[in-house]
Amino acid sequence: MPFSETAVRSAIASGAMQAFYQPQYDAVTAKVKSAEALVRWIGPDGTIIPPARFIPQAEQSDLIMEIDWHMARCACEMLLKQKQKLPVAVNFSRRHIKETDFAQRLSELVDSYGLAHHLLEVEITESAMVNEEEHILGWINSVRAAGFSVAIDDFGSGLSSLQFVKDMPADVLKIDRSLLSHNCENEKERIVLESIFYFAHRLHMTTIAEGVETKEQLAFMRTCDCGKIQGFIFAKPLPETDYLSLCEINASADEPFDILGAQSPASASALLMGVVFRKYPLVIFSNLTRNTFYMMAYECFTSTGCPSTGVFDELILHGASSMYPDDQQPFASTFSRENLLKAHAAGEPFVRLVTRQKGDDGIYRRVETTDYFVKSPSSEDVLVITLCENLAEE
């Protein structure tokens, strides 16, 4: 049954339009870190009218803006009462993208409560961004420049494109629950999810999995290094007073936690990679048999102007070209596929050479390159892992 605009407005004015808060938990420590404000219309007899019953209709007009701003005010009021000051995400409909003074208005609102801007997160659904390419980038940038964080909501629910999200300067990617089947038991589905998390992490976005309901889903989310969990497995959206009490309990139960107890393969390898990259800012995996490579470069390597995957022979030529002239020939010869394969056949465990490599600043620095031969259980191909280390200045 449709609602009249007057009914919605009077629900806002009378306090019948309320914010419930669904806690968002750290995926590893299972502690409450933040929440999402979700609108609930409380009927005169106490029945709760869910947003699905009135939000789609409100979104047909600017009425939705009144609801969203009301929710932002509710979130600020809740934060004033909350000792722990955990961030709150508020949903904003696509119509706000056209509000040119949105960031200014949100700043004024949050300032009027004397709250720090980082406590408010702006959620905008992925589908709202489609066909808004013209405005959305500037809009997100202005919201973030004002100190608020921005989350892309419902990622994966519509015609999502990684290509599109990669251009969005958002802080958080919320993975839609439609991507999670009952127990995440489907192999292909797991691969898709793993790739999405990998992609988000590479873009330095934090991740929230929505709609996690089962132990199996939670366990799988942990192996993907998901940042936070928002789902019925931990909590449903709660009235303000219940959420505030939960935060009190959560704060007092601050036991020391051993992160290794819940270590996932992905986060263990991330720790390992962190250590490897500290010493070797450039790591290359090559298949000598197939003449291919895959490169992982850390920001501080002297020169990384090379594609991250391609033809091995070309990589060597490219690498040699930015070296000190006297070093180019020895490098190209030592690391030619032919000579590497000979060294491997002769039983050498590795091949090593120090050269002078030109950095982006035009200065040559000594780099030690070591190719370790490695065996893959799934292939007879000759593989090498190259570790490049910047040596101290002479």
Q: Which does 71 bind (CB under 5 to 8 A by kind): Mg ion, ligand C2E, none?
A: ligand C2E
- Beta carbons within 10 angstroms of residue 268's beta carbon: 12
As given in the structure block, the two tokens for residue 224 are: 């993907």
- Please identify, using beta-carbon distances, which residue of 69 and 280 lies nearer to ligand C2E: 69
- Please identify, using beta-carbon distances, which residue of 40 and 366 lies nearer to Mg ion: 40
Q: Which does 237 bind (CB under 5 to 8 A by kind): ligand C2E, Mg ion, none?
A: ligand C2E
Contact residues for ligand C2E, defined by CB under 6 A: 22, 38-39, 50-52, 55, 64, 67-68, 71, 91, 93, 153-154, 210-213, 230-232, 237
Q: What is the 3-state secondary structure of 222-239? A: HHCCCCEEECCCCCCCEC
Q: Which does 39 bind (CB under 5 to 8 A by kind): ligand C2E, Mg ion, none?
A: ligand C2E
- Please identify, using beta-carbon distances, which residue of 12 and 383 lies nearer to ligand C2E: 12
- Please identify, using beta-carbon distances, which residue of 153 and 327 lies nearer to Mg ion: 153
Q: How far is the CB of 204 from ligand C2E (least distance, A)?
A: 23
Q: How far is the CB of 59 from ligand C2E (least distance, A)?
A: 7
Q: How far is the CB of 126 from ligand C2E (least distance, A)?
A: 10
- The secondary structure of 173-232 as a DSSP string is EEEPGGG--TTS--HHHHHHHHHHHHHHHHTT-EEEEE---SHHHHHHHHHTT--EEEST
Q: How far is the CB of 133 from ligand C2E (least distance, A)?
A: 21
Q: How far is the CB of 108 from ligand C2E (least distance, A)?
A: 19
- Please identify, using beta-carbon distances, which residue of 160 and 302 lies nearer to ligand C2E: 160
- Please identify, using beta-carbon distances, which residue of 94 and 366 lies nearer to Mg ion: 94
Measured distance CA(167)–CA(85) in Å, rounded: 31
Q: How far is the CB of 175 from ligand C2E (least distance, A)?
A: 11
Q: How far is the CB of 224 from Mg ion (least distance, A)?
A: 18
Measured CA distances, 78 to 3, 81, 248 (Å) = 27, 5, 13
- Please identify, using beta-carbon distances, which residue of 235 and 323 lies nearer to Mg ion: 235
Strands (E), the chain: 17-26, 32-42, 48-49, 88-91, 120-125, 149-155, 172-175, 206-210, 228-230, 282-287, 292-297, 309-311, 350-358, 364-374, 383-390
Q: Which does 52 bind (CB under 5 to 8 A by kind): ligand C2E, Mg ion, none?
A: ligand C2E
Q: Which does 51 bind (CB under 5 to 8 A by kind): Mg ion, ligand C2E, none?
A: ligand C2E
Q: How far is the CB of 80 from Mg ion (least distance, A)?
A: 22
Contact 294, 284 (CB under 8 A): yes
Please report, as a single letter, which amino acid is at residue 259: I
**Residue 42 β-bridge partners:** 48
Contact residues for Mg ion, defined by CB under 5 A: 91, 123, 153-154, 210
Measured distance CA(304)–CA(315) in Å, rounded: 11
Q: Which does 146 bind (CB under 5 to 8 A by kind): Mg ion, ligand C2E, none?
A: none
Question: Largest Cα–Cα distance of the chain, in whole Å?
Answer: 86
- Please identify, using beta-carbon distances, which residue of 87 and 211 lies nearer to ligand C2E: 211
Sign of CA dihedral 231, 251, 226, 221: negative
- CB proximity list for 307: less than 8 A, separation 6 or greater: 295
**Residue 150 β-bridge partners:** 122
Q: Which does 227 bind (CB under 5 to 8 A by kind): ligand C2E, Mg ion, none?
A: none
Q: Which does 240 bind (CB under 5 to 8 A by kind): Mg ion, ligand C2E, none?
A: none
